[in-house]
Structure 1
Amino acid sequence: MKNIFNNIITPVDLKSCYFLISIIFLFISCVEPLTDSQQSTTPNIEIIKPVTGDSIMVGKNRVEYKASDGTGGQGLSFYEVFINNRFVKRYAQNEDGTNPDIYLEIDSTLLGSSINYYIKVYNKSGKSKESKLQENIFIKDKPPAAPSNLIIKKTSDYSAILLWNDNSNNEKGFELWRKDGGGGVYRKIKTLPVNTISTTDDGLSPFIDYFYKVRAFNDSGQSEFSNEASTSNLPGGQWNLQAEAIGASLIILKWNDFAVNELGFKIERANSYTNTWEVIDIVSPNQTEYEDNNVQPSTAYKYRVAYFTSNSVSGYSNEVSISTFYTDVDGPSNLTAYYSSGVILQWTNNDKLQLTRGTIIEKRAGSYGKFVEIGNVESDSTSFVDYNIESGKTYYYRVRQKLSNRIYTPYSNTVSITIP
């Protein structure tokens, strides 16, 4: 009975309990309850690419992701990138509130290995969220840098040598691509080993212009292509001898006259049977063009030129090869020109067999100088407008049609117009 009475709460103790309960109630009532918006301000982040099982390259790899703050939050603050569970870089949110570009920057020491990574995003309230861990990301080599400065030199009518700069240190080889003729399609003609900087191309035709480009490759892909090099742009030295065929019955030669004391020029053509050079004509000094109408349809010819004085003959020009067309085709006719905001040209198309591959428009400013090509249209078109004109100037125009590579119809008549 004594122990029971000892455990009986006295009135004083009961008063103390009431006081303590009041204090606890008052404290709870002063604390503001958490709202739904405050409880949901944790940010969100989702990685889209690269994800588990993907491959990335040595160097910078952009991460595709979505990130946003929770409902009612004040916005995102920054991001932390972790590779193989180690912090590697921090990215701040853009000043305009948009998400920054984030990259996985991979050192070459990781080549051939696999990594895992995740991104941790923080909002302005200090809360954070980690993305899902992306695993088994394989590191492959980056594609090689593109070669450059591709140049070409024809060593004969049937062979050319090409040279380029190797700008990469991780290529496994090079691809040589070629296009036969200006209207051809590029195709790969050679695969070359690592560190190659030159090659030859044999079995060419002297009557076709060839276009080349080269690129490097490795297991990760191909580089960009180099510049394009073409046999059509090869210089003919200071002579720059060029040839074009007019249909089946005429070949025109053009060259630079750089001599100061010549008595004339001699024109030589290679005999198609013996391949020996024969003089076919001589022309007067200061002349820079020659027409050879002693030719046959669908026949290949090769020419060279030299100048002569009273007691010597110069070195020869570059050699040029050209093939005639299988038939003659009438050129455009009835070319007219009138002014209306621009010079409007109109002509008659006489290509009844539809053999041509386009119409070329040429222009000359003033009574002297050379005609230059200013445009081209489809063969079935019979008009062209030239807006590149100046008031008070007189312009001359002519047109012709293309039959094949360096083979054309005759020119139309030439017209002139003075711009008001």
Structure 2
Amino acid sequence: MSTNSTSYSDSNVTSNSNYTYRVIPFNPFGKACSYTNEVTSSTSLLIEPPASLIVSSISSRQIDLSWTYADYSNHSTAIERKRGKDGSWQIIDILDTGFSSYSDQGLSSDTEYFYRVKAVINEDVFSRPYPRDYLENENGVYTNLLTPRNLKASWQSSGIVKLEWAGNLSFESDLVIERKAENSNFVPIETIEPHDMKWYDIGVENDRNYTYRVKSVNSYNSSDYSNEAAIEALTLPEPENFKVVVSSDSEVIIEWDYEDETEISGFKVEMRVESDGRWNEIVSLGDSVRSYTAKHLDPDTVYYFRLISYESTMNLKSYTQPIEVLINTVKPPSDLVVTQIPNNQYLLEWKDNSDNEEGFIIERRHGSKDFVEIGRVTENTQSFIDSGLEFNSIYYYKVRAYNSNVQSTHSNTVSVRTLLQKTFSDLNTVPWARTAINSLLGMDIISGRSEDIFAPDDRITRAEFISLVVNAFELNKTPIGTFSDVRPEHWYYRNVMIAKNMGIVSGVGNNYFYPNEPIKREDMAVILARTLRITGSPLPHRDNSILDKFSDRHLISDYALSSLAVTHGAGIINGKGNNILSPDDFATRAEAAVMLYNVLFKL
């Protein structure tokens, strides 16, 4: 045989015969020193090769094979491979009976490989190969190109996404870049040379989410896709609570809130006059500013304002919705006051100074928090009740008027400290007085015998009752003079002398007051009626006949008759049942609390 031959076909054999072969090389100088190994085969053992072979490229390093035999018989199978059309066939593996697939791994990328399979007849004896020699160069398969890896996507600036990747990519290949927006499908957007390992996607929309992937390609091959790199929408939060308040016939106050943790360069305020006119920037403000006053505006003119938050490094902007403003002012309310009413509720009252409001906005602040809107009332309303507040806390209130176009500036700000949440353990015997006692306790007007004991059925002394009245009405006057039995060293001296100096009490004669004696119900009525009159809130006149319904009317002292009539008519003092008023009974601590509570909360 000729030089470099590596195969031979023996066609001079007979059936059912055994043959043994060996090979020795030679040249003009003689034969080699030894033969190859000997191989014995029999023509009676003829086996058909596999009838099919499927070869598939799996990756840049792997090709998979699968085959079948025509008669579904099982044989050991030898797998041969050559690299390129001009390569040499080599057996790369022999599989046991029962196997019909194989994964060839550790290959070179972007390389063409050819495969054929043979049935194993005996040691070093095989069937003819499949495919046959004349087809052996028709089933070449390339391994994939190397896959780009570590793909990353990041915002470079507004409208520009930067892609970066790694990998030893072929200089003879191109890189296909694919993108999908939100939940759409991937589409190719660019084919480039991969040498720079980066690329910029220009003109993307900032408010959409994007996902990218890349792969290498050439005229006959491609790689697997890289990992997917996702990037979230690039947006700035819109300013919140954007509002424009007309403060005069030529000025508006523009206010807004913004997330402090968001890094921005600042804000820009824009204005236009016509609804379809051009927006004009009127001011650029720092990132910590939350209000601006626009001046020199024309009355009876419609203006449009909008606010822009911006970040200059990334060239990002976020716009509020425009607000239409007519410079037609609403006068703010004034003289806001807050008053405690029963059940830990608080009555706000104010003066309405405008004639074109649609209503009023009530705002409240608790502690160090910001003012927040807690309610609205309709036009001409001048009061609001707030409830559900925490005990022993300070609240601040302010009110502003509004209509469809503008809001007024705020009224004066008022504050109130809510009740202390206290009670006593001995009030079960006086359920009719519990609310009054707890309310006055929470206001620090009344106190108990101890922390838990109020002693509601104990008689109240004249000094104790006068002290309650002075505290409840917040009377304040420099105490001057004395009673014979009320001296500066006594705990009640200041309160009794304030009441005396204001004309609320005058004693019982001979410059005595009897501070430690119990007080009668009719005397409490006299003191309350005088206090209301002297402090500027006199009770409406009532005819003494209002008391005729009580069977013990004759027990009322002459000096107390008119006071009992007006206090009973106002609901301050009531009977004790069975048409009994008991004017000369000594009052209990519970009865005193109820009378004082009625004065403070029912008038």
Q: Same fold (TM over 0.5)?
A: no
TM-score of the pair, normalised by structure 1:
0.42
**Higher RCO, 1 or 2 (CA under 8 Å, sep at least 6)?**
1
- Which one has the bigger helix percentage? 2
